[in-house]
Amino acid sequence: MGPLSSLVYFPLIGMVIVMCLPKEAKVAIRWTSVGASIIPLVVSFALTIDYFFGHAATGLMAYVEGPYDWIPSLNVQYYLGADGISIPLLALTGLLSTLSLLASFNIENRVKEYFAFFLLLEAGMMGVFVALDFFLFYIFWEVMLVPMYFLIGVWGGPRKEYAAIKFFLYTLFGSIFMLVAILILYFTSTPHTLNMMTLIQSGSRLPYMLQMICFIFFFIAFAIKVPVWPFHTWLPDAHVEAPTAVSVILAGVLLKMGTYGMLRVSWPMFPAALKDMAFWIALLGAIGIIYGALVSMAQKDLKKLVAYSSVSHMGYCMLALGAFSSAQAITGCMFQMVSHGLITGALFLLVGVLYERAHTREIAAFGGLGSKLPVYSSIMFFFAMASLGLPGLSGFVSEVMIFLGSFGAVNQVLVGISVLGVVLGAAYILRMVQRVFLGDFDLAKWGKLTEINTLELVTVTPLMVLTLWIGVYPKPLVDLMSATLNKLITLMQR
């Protein structure tokens, strides 16, 4: 079993073990799952380091497993590989999974099922980032839906069923388009193949109309996942209803799969269609940025605010993807994916911490927490600043890269308008900070609030360190990805 397979299978093994444990053994279940997710975490970080020193200069696919024949009659293969764009996301997935599992220790209801589903989810996420065969890719893509559905639907908030169904159906709706596109590709290729690498090479030879159709189909599937405006409405519902750890995964990893899919699949595969659609994609991105920020400003629920800020932040990614010809913009997009994963993940964790103590997320219900919970407030402030793009933290690096890069590559007015998002971002974040942490403290109401505990500190500290590191010294991450991205950009500009 190669390292990439191990990323997928260790969580699965963990899941099996968890399922075999008696359901009363909550402690054992929790630590087993954490153990099962630490292995992929370690492996993914080791791979990151190894890739950085061994392969980053070439940017080629590394750790390739296969292609082994799997279903020979359909020419389906077992084919895994990772390059500069999947490696950071694998590491992010590994990290966030472990942290989320740690953050799930307060789950008391149906512990066994919860952790089993969580590990299955992790396996699916890892799988999506390493699959190089469309069949595998699609399977992993769908595999994630099921545990997600249950995680939201069983352990969620008051409207969990609605949110879960909405999430499930919406995403499934997108996947159908993807399936159709995959089938089109399969039947138009000679010999019929589902190998992504081959199809990327041959995709540009398809007739223009077919390219366009496939591109749009893929785009719908991925855009729903990102989510791109106007496909975003499942996101706030799912986020608000999902338990904290699931929100973290949802924001931290699942959203990235949409943009990852675009970068990995549809962008390099259909250059002709991409060229014609670039403006519209950037436009959707710009709308997302402004729209998400404005709507965030109107939110009364902390989690919903963070959720809509995700819409805004993923809008930056889309803007950058619209400016595909600029290496800087695409690098910024990758940065934004990673940093949004870290920052928003942390914000959800922190909101969860507060919710657990106060049992409400109403912004208006709080005030002046800064004096009662100095450590918590400082950490929250840190991530709030990261979220609004403060220099020295990762959000700034990605935003600047995206703006600088896309300015020369798409409509400049569009980029200029998008920059407004920076101010609006500051506005809604500061508004939130002010209402929750500054001002008068209601001693009678919140006198019993307790400070963030050690476990929770442990979960957010790695995110703080990484956010700061990427913000202060982004060069390693750029070096890790740049060769791969340059190859992809060459493909996109065919």
Residues in the site for another protein, rule: CB under 8 A? 166, 169-170, 230, 232-234, 291, 294-299, 327-328, 331, 368, 370-371, 385, 389-392, 396, 400, 403-405, 407-408, 412, 415-416, 419-420, 422-424, 426-427, 430-431, 434, 437-441, 473-475, 478-479, 482, 486
Tell me the closest approach of the beta carbon of residue 198 to another protein, in angstroms: 28
Q: 68: which strand partners? A: 78
- Whose Cβ is closer to another protein: residue 378's or residue 453's? 378
Percent of the chain as helix, strand, coil, to the nearest 5: 80, 5, 20
Burial grade of 390 (CB within 10 A; 0-12, 13-18, 19 or more): middle
Is the backbone of residue 334 left (phi > 0), alpha (psi -120 to 50) or beta? alpha
Tell me the closest approach of the beta carbon of residue 62 to another protein, in angstroms: 22
Instruction: Enter the tokens of residue 93.
Output: 């997935």
Tell me the closest approach of the beta carbon of residue 331 to another protein, in angstroms: 7
Contact 454, 234 (CB under 8 A): no
CA distance 8 to 122: 8
- Whose Cβ is closer to another protein: residue 207's or residue 408's? 408
Contact 492, 345 (CB under 8 A): no
Tell me the closest approach of the beta carbon of residue 296 to another protein, in angstroms: 8
Helix (H, G, I), strand (E, B) or coil at 21: coil
Tell me the closest approach of the beta carbon of residue 190 to another protein, in angstroms: 36
Look at the block and give the residue holding tokens 């002046």. Answer: 368
Q: With CA atoms as reference, report the closest residue to 376 among 344, 402, 349.
A: 349
- Whose Cβ is closer to another protein: residue 467's or residue 482's? 482
- Whose Cβ is closer to another protein: residue 130's or residue 409's? 409
Tell me the closest approach of the beta carbon of residue 53 to another protein, in angstroms: 18
Q: With CA atoms as reference, report the closest residue to 396 among 298, 288, 471.
A: 471
- Whose Cβ is closer to another protein: residue 30's or residue 225's? 225
- Whose Cβ is closer to another protein: residue 55's or residue 232's? 232
Tell me the closest approach of the beta carbon of residue 470 to another protein, in angstroms: 11
DSSP output for 419-471 = HHHHHHHHHHHHHHHHHHHSS---HHHHTT-----HHHHHHHHHHHHHHHHHH
CA distance 131 to 140: 8
- Whose Cβ is closer to another protein: residue 4's or residue 317's? 317
- Whose Cβ is closer to another protein: residue 110's or residue 431's? 431
- Whose Cβ is closer to another protein: residue 121's or residue 424's? 424
- Give, in order, the Cα–Cα distances in Å from 101 to each of 116, 230, 305, 454: 11, 31, 24, 15
Tell me the closest approach of the beta carbon of residue 176 to another protein, in angstroms: 13
Tell me the closest approach of the beta carbon of residue 294 to another protein, in angstroms: 4
